[in-house]
Amino acid sequence: MKKFAVVLSGCGVYDGAEIHEATLSMYAIKKQGASYEVFAPDIMQHHVINHLNGEEMPESRNVLVESARIARGKIQPLSKFNPAAYDALLFPGGFGAAKNLSTFAFDGTDCKVNADVEKAVKGMHEAGKPIGALCIAPVLLARILGKGELTIGQDKGTAAAVEKMGATHKNTHHGEVVFDEANKLFTTPCYMLDADIAQIGDGAENIVQAMLEYLG
């Protein structure tokens, strides 16, 4: 049974992991006969957003603690991730990827990436193991690796940023997966497009299927 490591960035699209993408990715992994374990960095969120009105809230939350909501408590600090123990690495999207796992939401192409995220990506890449990213999360791969063919959908500004960081961008539609064979990268747009939950399910299922087919 192939084992995925799924990295979350909090809980909720505006300040953490996108819940639909995270949940449907885990569902797709199990449905297709693989297993997963969940990780998140043990750091404070950049900020907390009221998901009802979009306003910032005067409180602080921990990314690992919030991610544990999605993982039903079964989660590990990303600092404990060991590439040798997993066949694949997967990043659901959500603003947490651009606010907590990196500073892309604020600094664009000059963004910094969380040290544990960078270590995990480089470790898997050096081991020749597949890495998947949904929605906005491919910007992490562009920044860390500085190469590869990726997709974030069709947003021109984000696509330009991906290319400025050294990667190549390919426009995609709902459910499409871009596979960079040379770098073992798999990306799909999900909510970077105007999508509904069924289309998110298609994207999650397709990227997991593509990664498992690669792993054989």
Q: What is the pLDDT of residues 1-32, one digit of tens each?
A: 999 999 999 999 999 999 999 999 999 999 99
Domain positions in the chain? 3-215
The residues assigned a catalytic role are 135
Q: SS3 for 201?
A: helix
pLDDT computed for residue 83 by the predictor: 98
- 44-53 long-range contacts, CB within 8 A, separation 24+: 45/10, 45/15, 45/16, 45/96, 45/99, 45/100, 46/15, 46/99, 46/100, 46/105, 46/106, 47/15, 47/99, 48/15, 49/12, 49/14, 49/15, 51/12, 51/13, 51/14
With beta carbons less than 8 A apart as the criterion, state whether 192 and 137 touch: no
Burial of 51 (0-12, 13-18, 19+ CB in 10 A): middle
pTM of the model: 0.97
**Which distant-in-sequence residues (6+ apart) come within 8 Å of 128 by Cβ?**
184
Domain 3-215 in CATH 3.40.50.920: no
Tell me: the pLDDT tens digits for 115-162?
A: 999 999 999 999 999 999 999 999 999 999 999 999 999 999 999 999
User: What is the mean predicted confidence (pLDDT) over 82-94?
Assistant: 98
